[in-house]
Structure 1
Amino acid sequence: MTAQPIHPHGPERVPRNAEGIAAVLDGAQRMEFYRELLAAAPEEAEGVLRRWWCEAMLETDPAGDRLTAAALDGTLPTTAVGDVIERRRSAGLPVE
């Protein structure tokens, strides 16, 4: 018997690279993404990619509009950071 993930992971909607991110952003967002990426110091580039990848994932999420509306309305379920850290520690995952 093998363990199966609860939520199977298929191919990501947005590849985790500059080309994949830029491909799903609209014109103004794409220009801002490239501006930030080109202006970033090498040690900051990963953070820029990570932030814009999240933006691109939300942009391509079929439930993205609903999630955005819930966040703006204050009805989006949240979890305390301390709870997430404790859950990661309990699972033996790194906490940075």
Structure 2
Amino acid sequence: MSAQPVHSHQPDRVPRNAEGIAAALDGVKRLEFYRELLAAAPEQAEGVLRRWWCEAMLDTDPSGDRLTEAALAGTLPTTSVADVVAHRRQAGLPVE
């Protein structure tokens, strides 16, 4: 099993900036995003953007409902961290 994305995001469904992230979030999440971003120290802002970009990508994933149902039903395919590390080592990728 690969740790690579199931489907490509080229170009990303959600632009990697505050405007793009906010546009992809619903009202309640959008307010929370802005609250966290405005409260973040400059060195924390990148982490806030990254976290909320991931949230926005999940919210806009066309397969999102199917994946949520599979996760709740316990039928979502999984892999162990050890398998991912072994795969990355075999591919010559960092595992730090």
What is the identity, as a one-letter code, of the residue corresponding to 2:47? G
What is the identity, as a one-letter code, of the residue corresponding to 1:69? E
Deviation at 1:82, TM superposition (A): 2.0
1:34 maps to what in 2? 34
What is the identity, as a one-letter code, of the residue corresponding to 2:59? E
Structure 2: gaps spanning 5 or more residues: 1-6
1:25 maps to what in 2? 25
Structure 1: gaps spanning 5 or more residues: 1-6
| Greater relative contact order (Cα < 8 A, sep 6+) | 2
Instruction: Give the Cα–Cα distance (whole angstroms) in 1 for the partners of residues 73 and 10 of structure 2.
Output: 31
- Give aligned pairs, total: 90
Using the aligned pairs only, state the percent identity: 80
1:90 maps to what in 2? 90
- 1:35-87: CA deviation from partner (whole Å, max 9, x where unpaired): 11222233332222222111111111111111112122222111112221221
TM-score (norm 1): 0.79
What is the identity, as a one-letter code, of the residue corresponding to 1:23? A
Instruction: Give the Cα–Cα distance (whole angstroms) in 2 for the partners of residues 78 and 40 of structure 1.
Output: 34
Q: Secondary structure at the match of 2:46?
A: helix
**Which runs of at least 4 in structure 1 moved beyond 6 Å after TM superposition?**
none
1:11 maps to what in 2? 11
Deviation at 1:8, TM superposition (A): 5.8
